[in-house]
Structure 1
């Protein structure tokens, strides 16, 4: 316990004044002759004892009144701890008091028979005394001792003995996540945190030190030269799209305080618990749940227990009921497309409780810094806090990349999440060579890749060339991006060798084995075995029930959309298969799709060949009466068939492997072909800021780890003739838009330290800090006790000489 006005404790000597006056002014008894004195002899002893007890009680009350009054003026304070009783302790205390009262009334009415008034009164007095004593003892054992042990555990750790003029060594940790840009009354939460810190720095005693840090991983925690320098450091804080969790930064601040305290002790030659400063850490945050990591893996609770001399304050600068609308989870149907195709943008428009239920989304394309609106704005009706919105764009071939943004037309207090950027690569139309014994066998596959109706309208997704197996030897495979072999009965070894060479140099090969006329022997030559994911052995029938397609590898770029979209997955499984080829799978192959039924036979397989790859489908992809109609109904009225063939084409051309849209903080890998390598490059960042980087000769890609600003990026070679160019977009984390606050019980479970104070009102910060430094001031409690003692002394003095009614006299 510490005292603010310790010198006033000399006034405790006044507590002896009632005792001195009692001894000096003690009345001397007078001897009076009275003839009836013998009538009072029976009550002489009891009255004498009662008077002595009342004298003693009155004396104690007057002494306590003076002592407590002096102690209250001295303003004592207790170390910070949870002194209040828990709900179950109050319940036990109430039960104990009720039991004592009930026992008293039960015992007073238990003994029957007449009794003298004086004897009955003495008996009641003794019962009251014993009930009070035993009840107090029971309350002490059931409540007092456990409470004392709990409080003692909180107070047992040594702490700094601080006073109001002891210098402070404080670390101010400011939440710099994007949600701190929330604006209220034209003031962001970050600006509010700056204001609170500046006001608090102005109250620091002389000789204090302060360090300012945000949530950026590169921010150093260091004490500024003076408090004015700390105030200036506040102006450099900016929000970041890649904040470190507060847990980790708080752990770093605690370690910094431990190291600085150790250095001070070594410099001064002191040790133990001595310190030149009272050490504190302030975390100013909007209590956004995304700023914390749950469960805590940084060992924060253990660090707080080890640094029990350190006080931590969590200061809430958030808006009580934030209102926000945002665009989140923006995805593109494909990251690289072909001119003339439709690009589907899918996004979620969300709103906090109390936010707008109707909002408008618009799409804009960017070209040379000029924004052009595309299509009509779309109205999103938000139900249950979120609404999914889809917008379609026609890909143009004017530029190798299509860059754009989607945004909300309305404004709200957090504008950063109203806009999302996207980039889509635009590649030349892929050239495809289809080889089949009969051209009609490849017609269904060709029509799925390039619908005839669209081709007649001048819309072409790819350039398809169909040849027979006999004509394949005259074709130059290197002129094509993908070669598809459909139901060829007896391909010669030269064709297999040409296909292997084509795949080995980076081409894509797709093989369809869906005919009972295939000669397995022609597919078992060495060149075929080096190319194919599996060697056909025989075709088998599904006798009991038709087989269905099922996903085997869900995280593959070709099957990922089927795994994520239930409607496509259900449509894919709706196709019925009566036959398939049993194959001997190569050990290096991967099964992407399989058939249900006995044997778990593979349906779609992949094998990497050199720099390219080969895919193989083990059933028919046509509906000819003498062919695919006997195998399945996959190509008949099943819209998952063109989806699957398009995914196969995208995968074989490498378009599906090029990622162009990232979240801030992700590592970005940009492959560079051997023929387009360079030594240095320029990276154009959002805001037209450019940085230069280098690429080592042995590297095959550019690795970027500092793309933290949201917007569009362009990478080009610097002072090199390479035609290489890359583009990508970066967006903020979707979780920043939720604005869900972390609860106090979650923080208490995470921190689990009595040296942590949670302050939800910045105006109460000074009171919390005073309590943390000096402890809990007990002045209000002592003043209440003074009033109670004064009233008790008054009642005791008034009834001191009251005589009790005599109900009867003893017989002579």
Structure 2
């Protein structure tokens, strides 16, 4: 234990004052003019012993008052630990007090019935009080004080701390700069509140201190500032960013900096014996955050805990600037029905609303689409979001036109968090894919041709006899529908077509030449080998096995498979899938797995094989599946054309992969960012996909060709992750598991931060505990002094 004012301990000499007064004021014997009767003499001796006991108790209490007052003024400090009594210790102390009080009361009552002389009763009562007090003190020492001392001793068994209020500090100030720190409360954002606390604490650091300032967005290494003025300037310039690194990782980097700097400082003391080398700094890491769980998602949680358990010299302070009960309505996700679509299509824009806190008011959501002169309002809906459930807004964009549709949804309201009041979207609009259908008879292709034309595709149908002389370069997808014979030379042509990025669909609805389809040239690209055609004993049905595959993913949004999976399939081809192929649909044949739809990627292209018919000639009733048949034809063609799953909407931190869709793209393009910046982009040699890594700006991006090059326009949008609107806070259990219990300190304002820093570096101050003891002793002294000459005046003892 150490003291803030050790000189004041000299005042303990004042404890001699009650002793001197005790001897000066004690009663002197009085001479009696008449002989003392034996009864009176006996009573006098008893009263003297009783009064001496009371004098001793009163003397001890008055000495304790002065001693405790002096100690409280001296402000003793002890190493940081939990000096409060635990629940078990409090209950034990209460039990000791109850036992002693009841024992005293029972003994007084028992002796009172057996004694007839009043002075004897009074003497025994005083004696019982002394015995009960001593017993209570002894039991308290054994049952409470001894376990308490062992617990506190174990908690302070860390390496000793050097007591010096002016000892320099080596600190790392780490700021959470995620968008959730923009939440407004009491006229300031959470980041502004954090900066205010940091600047106030920076001003209180001792001279010679060093500070490193870091934030969760910066990718630069954490280093110490040249001086505190530089640290202040760095703190004032911190702003929230849309992209950030998990705070776990940044905290670990701060720990690494402190460890490296400490080891370097100790190693530089080469002239000092190794056992006497000391770190001249108090080392600490301050994390200023709203404790939103989304900012802490990282794989290094256990690493932080183990580091803090190992490095006892390092202190971690979490400065919590979050709001316990936030209120917010925001757009958390925006999903176009198609991110890549064809010209003239209808696109549905859907957005989810989240509601936190008391947000029962109706909210208007507006749709704006970028025009030549700026955003143009296209619609508005009113939603009443429910806390915990939110709501959904839906809009329709008819007859979209190439090359891009970019727009945004806006909330017509204000709340403390504005970062999620606007969500942007992009839809790439491309020319309709060109499809070539090859069949032996035109009647067999009639329904499939009609289904694709209904979807807006540019469809050409030719007879199989003309296929060998047809150039495939202008088509995005080629279907072989019930083509019985395909020459080897044609398979080689198809191989080159698919390898270059084309899509091939093989639809088997009548007997074909298996030898032709199983030849080497054909099997180089086909996803399965034909074994035999067979009829089911009773009709079976189609059953998708991968609901997330691009061919079937849309059906969940459209209301399910419906008629597609309950139409009879009477006949099919038994096939053996090749290595690298995927079975995405089977038949409901319980004896063995019978593939229905098999797909295979081939270089830049895709191949699909359906083992039953899509024509009205009797193999299946799939053509009667109403709109689901149209949707199946559309989604299969989109997949084969490479347009399924094409993304144009991303979250910050992701890599944008953009399918160019053309072969005449210039070798270099320009990327225009939301901040009106322009960057060059080199197109890969194959000219098919463009990758923009680690998106760090929110808004619309545009990809254009440079002046003088072939015209090209594309784009995409970037938004905040939905987790930025999640204000769920880390609980104490979360923090204990992440950092270890009692290995971190929490503060919410400059005053509480100063207190926890003092407690963990200088030690905990005992003044509050000493004052509590002082009040208790003073009350005891007052009680004893007022009842000093108390006597039992009951009639039977008069």
TM-score, reference length from structure 1: 0.88
Which residue in 2 is equivalent to 1:78?
78
Take 2:154 and 2:622, find their aligned partners in 1: how far apart are those partners?
73
Which residue in 2 is equivalent to 1:633?
621
- Do the aligned partners of residues 690 and 496 (structure 1) sit closer, same or farther apart at CA in structure 2, a change above 3 Å counting? closer
Please, what is the CA RMSD of the aligned residues? 3.5
- Do the aligned partners of residues 213 and 338 (structure 1) sit closer, same or farther apart at CA in structure 2, a change above 3 Å counting? same
Secondary structure, counterpart of 1:568 in structure 2: coil
1:50, distance to aligned residue in structure 2 (A): 3.1
Secondary structure, counterpart of 2:341 in structure 1: strand
1:464, distance to aligned residue in structure 2 (A): 0.9
- Do the aligned partners of residues 403 and 790 (structure 1) sit closer, same or farther apart at CA in structure 2, a change above 3 Å counting? closer
1:252, distance to aligned residue in structure 2 (A): 2.1
- Do the aligned partners of residues 613 and 694 (structure 1) sit closer, same or farther apart at CA in structure 2, a change above 3 Å counting? closer
1:91, distance to aligned residue in structure 2 (A): 3.6
Which residue in 2 is equivalent to 1:613?
606
Which residue in 1 is equivalent to 2:296?
292
Which residue in 2 is equivalent to 1:425?
428
Residues 722-731 or 171-180, more deviating: 722-731
Which residue in 2 is equivalent to 1:470?
465
1:127, distance to aligned residue in structure 2 (A): 6.4
What whole-Å deviation, never above 9, does each CA across 1:545-598 have from its counterpart, x for those lacking one?
A: x43333323443333445x64832466433343333211222232111122222
- Do the aligned partners of residues 587 and 306 (structure 1) sit closer, same or farther apart at CA in structure 2, a change above 3 Å counting? closer
Residues 349 and 387 in structure 1, CA contact (< 8 A), matched pair in contact too = yes
Residues 266 and 277 in structure 2, CA contact (< 8 A), matched pair in contact too = no
Which residue in 1 is equivalent to 2:217?
216
Take 1:57 and 1:717, find their aligned partners in 2: how far apart are those partners?
98
Secondary structure, counterpart of 1:746 in structure 2: helix
Which residue in 1 is equivalent to 2:35?
35
Take 1:274 and 1:28, find their aligned partners in 2: how far apart are those partners?
64
Which residue in 2 is equivalent to 1:535?
529
Residues 53 and 126 in structure 2, CA contact (< 8 A), matched pair in contact too = no
Which residue in 1 is equivalent to 2:331?
327
1:198, distance to aligned residue in structure 2 (A): 2.4
Which residue in 2 is equivalent to 1:447?
450
1:122, distance to aligned residue in structure 2 (A): 6.8
Take 1:294 and 1:133, find their aligned partners in 2: how far apart are those partners?
57
What whole-Å deviation, never above 9, does each CA across 1:627-668 have from its counterpart, x for those lacking one?
A: 23xx43322244332222211111111112532221100123
Secondary structure, counterpart of 2:59 in structure 1: helix
1:31, distance to aligned residue in structure 2 (A): 5.8
- Do the aligned partners of residues 171 and 530 (structure 1) sit closer, same or farther apart at CA in structure 2, a change above 3 Å counting? closer
Residues 365 and 380 in structure 2, CA contact (< 8 A), matched pair in contact too = yes
After TM superposition, the structure 1 = structure 2 runs for residues 735-746 of structure 1, keeping only pairs within 5 Å, are 735-746=723-734
1:418, distance to aligned residue in structure 2 (A): 1.6
Residues 403 and 422 in structure 1, CA contact (< 8 A), matched pair in contact too = yes
Secondary structure, counterpart of 1:443 in structure 2: helix
1:124, distance to aligned residue in structure 2 (A): 6.5
Take 1:131 and 1:57, find their aligned partners in 2: how far apart are those partners?
13
Residues 546-555 or 581-590, more deviating: 546-555
What whole-Å deviation, never above 9, does each CA across 1:7-27 have from its counterpart, x for those lacking one?
A: 111111221233345456766
Take 1:481 and 1:620, find their aligned partners in 2: how far apart are those partners?
22
After TM superposition, the structure 1 = structure 2 runs for residues 169-568 of structure 1, keeping only pairs within 5 Å, are 169-184=170-185, 187-268=188-269, 274-293=278-297, 297=301, 299-355=303-359, 357-367=361-371, 370-374=374-378, 376-384=379-387, 385-397=389-401, 399-451=402-454, 461-515=456-510, 517-543=511-537, 546-562=539-555, 565=557, 567-568=559-560
1:162, distance to aligned residue in structure 2 (A): 4.6
Take 1:369 and 1:220, find their aligned partners in 2: how far apart are those partners?
44
- Do the aligned partners of residues 748 and 522 (structure 1) sit closer, same or farther apart at CA in structure 2, a change above 3 Å counting? closer
Which residue in 1 is equivalent to 2:676?
688
Which residue in 2 is equivalent to 1:659?
647
Take 1:497 and 1:809, find their aligned partners in 2: how far apart are those partners?
127
Could you tell me which runs of 5 or more consecutive residues in structure 2 were left unpaired when the two chains were aligned: none
Residues 48-57 or 703-712, more deviating: 48-57
Take 2:754 and 2:452, find their aligned partners in 1: how far apart are those partners?
70
Take 2:74 and 2:339, find their aligned partners in 1: how far apart are those partners?
74
Which one of the candidate residues 776, 787, 790 is aligned to 2:778? 790
Take 1:17 and 1:111, find their aligned partners in 2: how far apart are those partners?
37
1:58, distance to aligned residue in structure 2 (A): 2.5
What whole-Å deviation, never above 9, does each CA across 1:765-810 have from its counterpart, x for those lacking one?
A: 3444444444433334333433433343344344445566698899
Take 2:43 and 2:112, find their aligned partners in 1: how far apart are those partners?
24
Residues 234-243 or 399-408, more deviating: 399-408
Take 1:489 and 1:803, find their aligned partners in 2: how far apart are those partners?
124
Take 1:37 and 1:347, find their aligned partners in 2: how far apart are those partners?
106
1:159, distance to aligned residue in structure 2 (A): 5.3
- Do the aligned partners of residues 102 and 805 (structure 1) sit closer, same or farther apart at CA in structure 2, a change above 3 Å counting? closer
1:604, distance to aligned residue in structure 2 (A): 0.8
What whole-Å deviation, never above 9, does each CA across 1:197-228 have from its counterpart, x for those lacking one?
A: 22333333333332222112414433323322
1:345, distance to aligned residue in structure 2 (A): 2.0
Take 2:132 and 2:771, find their aligned partners in 1: how far apart are those partners?
29
What whole-Å deviation, never above 9, does each CA across 1:225-275 have from its counterpart, x for those lacking one?
A: 332222211232121222122222222223323333333334456677844
- Do the aligned partners of residues 682 and 8 (structure 1) sit closer, same or farther apart at CA in structure 2, a change above 3 Å counting? same
Which residue in 1 is equivalent to 2:631?
643
Residues 175 and 288 in structure 2, CA contact (< 8 A), matched pair in contact too = yes
Residues 409 and 423 in structure 2, CA contact (< 8 A), matched pair in contact too = yes
- Do the aligned partners of residues 804 and 480 (structure 1) sit closer, same or farther apart at CA in structure 2, a change above 3 Å counting? closer
What whole-Å deviation, never above 9, does each CA across 1:411-447 have from its counterpart, x for those lacking one?
A: 3332221222222222222111112222222122122
1:133, distance to aligned residue in structure 2 (A): 5.5
Residues 663 and 687 in structure 2, CA contact (< 8 A), matched pair in contact too = no
Secondary structure, counterpart of 1:543 in structure 2: strand
TM-score, reference length from structure 2: 0.89
1:123, distance to aligned residue in structure 2 (A): 6.7
Residues 349 and 380 in structure 1, CA contact (< 8 A), matched pair in contact too = no
Residues 361 and 409 in structure 1, CA contact (< 8 A), matched pair in contact too = yes
Could you tell me which runs of 5 or more consecutive residues in structure 1 were left unpaired when the two chains were aligned: 452-459
What whole-Å deviation, never above 9, does each CA across 1:327-375 have from its counterpart, x for those lacking one?
A: 122222222211011122222022222125422222222256722233x
Residues 429 and 462 in structure 1, CA contact (< 8 A), matched pair in contact too = yes
Residues 324 and 351 in structure 1, CA contact (< 8 A), matched pair in contact too = yes
